């Protein structure tokens, strides 16, 4: 029996979780009751046409992430929920949500194909749910997601109920990376990633209240931004507090040294008052935080995870946005 738990080790060595959110153009979430195999789309309930579609998209290296999701009702549901989140362009709050109520999972592949061709699929529904939180519970992929993800999913469900947050759903999810930070979650439609979660910080995420400094420990980053810019964004979250979550944001890397030790990044945001700010930052490789660790419980050797720190950042422009009518 494997007694190495990658999440325990990440905690022990104090690995910084920031910069580990993954940048996808599209998330396609398909309701499918567990258990799931290690390769999720080889699981019992996945039809062949869906397996083939996922393989084709992955082979084409498209920036699309397929995930299986489930909740306590999935085993007895008379339909299959399909959620598609598409990243918005320019300054944005994250992703645009579309929800489909498909009669059965055998028809899901055709709905997705139509969507990817730019056509309007059938079965789209309006929903009052404005946030979907995915908790990785994919224990057959990594045992930390079973050990920490499963109990956290049940806690998350109870917390949302206790707080009467009827607009938020929580789902069990197949693997989306970062299992060494279990319990780990994605908060959609924003697309923010969190790791090493515990009860108090999760309630802060849900209600956007409490000590913002918890983001130093749990914030993996915002998936709409390049990994290095996620580090700058965390600095601006700590500077602006919970108000930051009302802002529209875009970020990019301007230049990078040949040895990748130094990065010049830029982040622009528009606040609720219509002011547009652009910050630039010098990010440098942080030798004290760069680590060699096993990336998963099953890993046979260690991998190097380069970490960056904000050396300095400065305001380069501030203007008032005006919209013509």
Spatial CA neighbour of 232 closest among 278, 287, 272: 278
Domain boundary among 164, 185, 216: 216
How open is the CA angle 196-198-202, to the nearest 5 degrees? 105
The DSSP call for residue 306 is: -
Spatial CA neighbour of 217 closest among 243, 231, 197, 244: 197
pLDDT at 325: 58
The DSSP call for residue 288 is: T
Residue 325 placed within a domain = no
Least confident of 113-117, 127-131, 168-172: 127-131
Q: Collapse the DSSP code of 210 into the 3-class scheme (helix H, G, I; strand E, B; otherwise coil) and give the result.
A: coil
How open is the CA angle 54-60-57, to the nearest 5 degrees? 15
Cross-strand partners of 26: 64, 86
pLDDT digits (tens, 9 = 90+) for 276-286: 999 999 999 99
Residue 242 placed within a domain = yes
Does residue 203 sit in the same domain as residue 243?
no
Please report which confidence band the pLDDT of residue 321 belongs to, taking 50, 70 and 90 as the band edges: confident
Does residue 293 sit in the same domain as residue 191?
no
pLDDT digits (tens, 9 = 90+) for 96-122: 999 999 999 999 999 999 999 999 899
pLDDT at 47: 97
Give 164's contacts (C-beta < 8 A, 6+ positions apart).
Answer: none
Does residue 242 sit in the same domain as residue 208?
no
pLDDT at 324: 58
pLDDT at 249: 98
What average pLDDT score do residues 239-268 get? 97
Does residue 81 sit in the same domain as residue 104?
yes
Q: Which two tokens stand for residue 269?
A: 């945001």
Does residue 154 sit in the same domain as residue 287?
no
Does residue 315 sit in the same domain as residue 260?
yes
pLDDT digits (tens, 9 = 90+) for 2-34: 689 999 999 999 999 999 999 999 999 999 999
Domain boundary among 165, 185, 216: 216
Decide: 168 and 207 in contact? Cβ < 8 Å: no
Residue 221 placed within a domain = no
Residue 45 placed within a domain = yes
The CATH number assigned to the domain holding 191 equals 3.40.30.10
Domain boundary among 216, 238, 257: 216
DSSP conformation letters of 191-208: TEEE-S--HHHHHHHHHT
Does residue 136 sit in the same domain as residue 50?
yes
Does residue 159 sit in the same domain as residue 184?
yes
pLDDT digits (tens, 9 = 90+) for 199-251: 999 999 999 999 999 999 999 999 999 999 999 999 999 999 999 999 999 99
The CATH number assigned to the domain holding 256 equals 3.10.450.630
- What pTM, to 2 d.p., does this model score? 0.96
Residue 15 placed within a domain = yes
Does residue 255 sit in the same domain as residue 174?
no
Residue 197 placed within a domain = yes
- Tokens 């190495």 locate to 4
Does residue 205 sit in the same domain as residue 299?
no
Total structural domains in the chain?
2
Residue 34 placed within a domain = yes
Residue 294 has pLDDT above 80, yes or no: yes
What whole-number percentage of the chain has pLDDT above 90? 90
Residue 57 placed within a domain = yes
pLDDT digits (tens, 9 = 90+) for 77-92: 999 999 999 999 999 9
Query: What domain range includes position 310?
Result: 226-320
Does residue 173 sit in the same domain as residue 97?
yes
Does residue 71 sit in the same domain as residue 197?
yes
């Amino acid at each position: 029996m494997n007694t190495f738990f990658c999440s325990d080790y990440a905690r022990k060595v104090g690995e910084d979780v920031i910069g580990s959110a993954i940048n996808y153009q599209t998330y396609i979430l398909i309701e499918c009751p567990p258990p799931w195999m290690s390769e999720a789309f080889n699981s019992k309930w996945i039809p062949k046409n869906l397996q083939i579609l996922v393989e084709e998209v992955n082979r084409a290296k498209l920036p699309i992430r397929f995930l299986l999701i489930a909740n306590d009702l999935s085993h007895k549901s008379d339909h299959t929920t399909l959620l598609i989140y598409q990243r918005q362009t320019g300054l944005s709050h994250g992703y645009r949500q579309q929800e489909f109520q498909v009669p059965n999972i055998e028809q899901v592949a055709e709905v997705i194909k139509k969507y990817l061709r730019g056509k309007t699929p059938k079965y789209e529904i309006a929903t009052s749910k404005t946030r979907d939180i995915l908790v990785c519970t994919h224990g057959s992929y990594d045992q930390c997601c079973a050990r920490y993800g499963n109990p956290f999913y049940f806690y998350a469900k109870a917390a949302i109920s206790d707080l009467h947050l009827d607009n938020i759903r929580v789902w069990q999810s197949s693997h989306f990376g970062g299992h060494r930070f279990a319990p780990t979650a994605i908060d959609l439609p924003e697309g923010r990633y969190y790791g090493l979660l515990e009860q108090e910080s999760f309630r802060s995420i849900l209600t956007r209240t409490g000590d913002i400094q918890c983001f130093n420990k749990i914030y993996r980053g915002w998936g709409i931004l390049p990994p290095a810019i996620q580090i700058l964004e965390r600095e601006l979250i700590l500077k602006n507090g919970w108000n930051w979550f009302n802002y529209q944001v875009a970020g990019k890397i301007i230049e990078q040294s040949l040895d990748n030790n130094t990065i010049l990044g830029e982040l622009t945001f528009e606040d609720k008052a219509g002011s547009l700010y652009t910050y630039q930052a010098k990010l440098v490789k942080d030798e004290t935080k760069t680590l060699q660790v096993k990336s998963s419980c099953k890993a046979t050797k260690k991998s190097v995870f380069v970490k960056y720190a904000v050396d300095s950042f400065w305001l380069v422009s501030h203007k008032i946005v005006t919209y013509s009518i």
